[in-house]
Amino acid sequence: MAEAGPITIAGAGIAGLTAALSLARKGFSVSIFDQATTLSEVGAGLQLSPNATRVLETLGLRPALESVWQLPETVDLADGKSLRRLATVPAGRFARERWGSPYAVFHRGDLQRILLEAVSNEPRCNVTLSQRIDSGGPPAGHGLQIGADGVWSKTRNHLQGAGKSRFSGNIAWRMTLRQADLPSFFDISRVTAFLGGGAHMVAYPLSGGRFNIVAISKGAALGENWNSEVPDRGELQRAFAGWHPELTALLRHAPEITRWPLHEVTDGAWHNGGETVLIGDAAHAMMPFAAQGAAMAIEDAFELAHFLANGADRAAALQAFEEHRRRRIARVRSRGAFNRFAYHAAGPLKLGRDIVLSLRKPQSLAGDFDWLYGYRALD
């Protein structure tokens, strides 16, 4: 086992809380610090594929998750102008049978609440709110600091050679609506991605008869601000001009839309040899085109605990962790870049994409995801 001792985690989001549970399970004592006075995630749905839900089930969270998650039967691609279905990837029971765990959708806040409850009930874990760690290293008496403090990580700022946050040029427009207020073609049994030139929209059910909708298009940066209200919808309406009338009407009349500039983190160091390591968005924030940001944070957290528990020493454990995870992250980023190209295609490229998709059977498409959804994080 790598050198033991109390571990400090900066950030009590999904990455930090999952890391705390994973480390406690391996026998480590963990202190989590977050600058927020209360932990809440507003207005954001979440897709978690089987590679991530498998980790959460291993951590004993399935009974709690079953009360909040929805398990869609399929993940569909559709044309944003005609609504014509282009392709279908089976999920539901198929996902459990093929990849060993479910494909789930739910509110991000529900997952954070469940993780926090589990951490609060874990004797080896301690959570402190309204306190931020700015030193870039563990407090006195602690052996390691984990930076799980997101894309604008303060921990990363103290790590020599670490990557930098940069605006991607894209905006996520988020809204949560009642199912009763949606057009009839929104299907509660499916995740649907509507595709169009330079933009796309994803819709899926949440618990309580709600639907999460996120529309992604090009847009301007607004600084370090994830979640701002949209007083003027002109930018949004221009991005989706020419789409199906019922979709554009939805964007005009939705009672509340928030604007989330999408940032990513450039390649750089994830650790400094023994005192500090980054996980999740702090290390490698990526675009959401593969719907894997939260899943990669969960995998990072779980596998970091594995390497720390099994490494010869802390420095060697962190180096092995980074080398192992970089290969995985690079492949996921590549898939996201491919999806971005395909989802936002226009003109002849769109026509070619549609022809190719029309020739693929659902189970054949599912096979493309075996490397991603079937991945079993090291325990």
* Mean of all residue pLDDT scores within the chain: 91
Answer with the residue of higher pLDDT: 60 or 141: 60
Q: In whole angstroms, what is the distance from residue 263 CA to residue 247 CA?
A: 26
What's at 309, amino acid-wise? Answer: A
Q: What is the pLDDT of residue 233?
A: 85
Is 261 a residue whose pLDDT tops 80? yes
The sign of the dihedral angle between the CA atoms of 300, 305, 306, 308 is positive
Alpha-carbon distance values, 243 to 41, 82, 204, 353 (Å): 30, 8, 19, 18
- Which pLDDT does position 41 carry in this prediction? 59
Residue 226 has pLDDT above 60, yes or no: no
Out of 3.90.550.10, 3.40.50.620, 3.50.50.60, 3.40.50.2300, select the CATH number for domain 7-166+264-373.
Answer: 3.50.50.60
Percentage of the chain exceeding pLDDT 70: 92
| CA distances to 134, 217, 303 from 137, in Å | 8, 38, 21
Read off the DSSP letter of residue 267. S
Q: Is 161 left (phi over 0), alpha (psi -120 to 50) or beta?
A: left
The mean-pLDDT minimum among 179-183, 306-310, 339-343, 373-377 falls in 179-183
Overall average pLDDT of the 231-245 stretch:
89
Query: Rounded mean pLDDT of 133-140?
Result: 62
Asked whether residue 26 carries a pLDDT value surpassing 80, the answer given is yes
Q: What is the mean pLDDT of residues 260-268?
A: 94
- Picking from 81-85, 95-99, 114-118, 354-358, which range would have the lowest pLDDT averaged per residue? 354-358
SS (H, E, C) 144-171: EEEECCCCCCHHHHCCCCCCCEEEEEEE
Could you tell me the pTM of the whole model?
A: 0.94
Give the Cα separation of 225 and 262 in Å (integer): 10
CA torsion 314→317→318→323, rounded to 10°?
A: 160
The answer to whether 53 and 104 have CB atoms below 8 angstroms apart is yes
Domains of the chain by residue range = 7-166+264-373
DSSP for 212-259, written as a single string: EEEEEEE----SS-S-EE-S--HHHHHHTTTS-HHHHHHHHH-S--EE
Q: What is the pLDDT of residue 40?
A: 66
274 pLDDT band, cuts 50/70/90, is: confident
In this predicted structure, the answer to whether residue 136 has a pLDDT above a threshold of 90 is no
Query: What is the per-residue pLDDT for 324?
Result: 98
Tell me which of 68-82, 100-114, 135-149, 187-201 is least confident.
135-149
Average pLDDT over residues 367-371: 97
Per mean pLDDT, which range of 50-64, 91-105, 117-131, 222-236 is the poorest? 222-236
| pLDDT of 141 | 60
- Which pLDDT does position 239 carry in this prediction? 93
Stretch 152-171: mean pLDDT: 94
Three-state SS sequence of 66-84: CCCCECCCEEEEEECCCCC
Query: Does 277 have pLDDT greater than 80?
Result: yes
What is the pLDDT averaged over residues 267-288? 95
pLDDT of residue 224: 58
Higher pLDDT: 28 or 39? It is 28
Catalytic residues: 204
Taking only the tens place, the pLDDT of each residue in 300-359 is: 999 999 999 998 799 999 999 999 999 999 999 999 999 999 999 999 999 999 999 988
Confidence band (pLDDT; 50, 70, 90) for 256?
A: confident
Predicted pLDDT at 184: 87
Max Cα–Cα distance, the chain, nearest Å:
62
Q: Residue 131: pLDDT band by 50, 70, 90 thresholds?
A: confident
DSSP helix/strand/coil, 205:
strand
Check pLDDT > 90 for residue 132: no
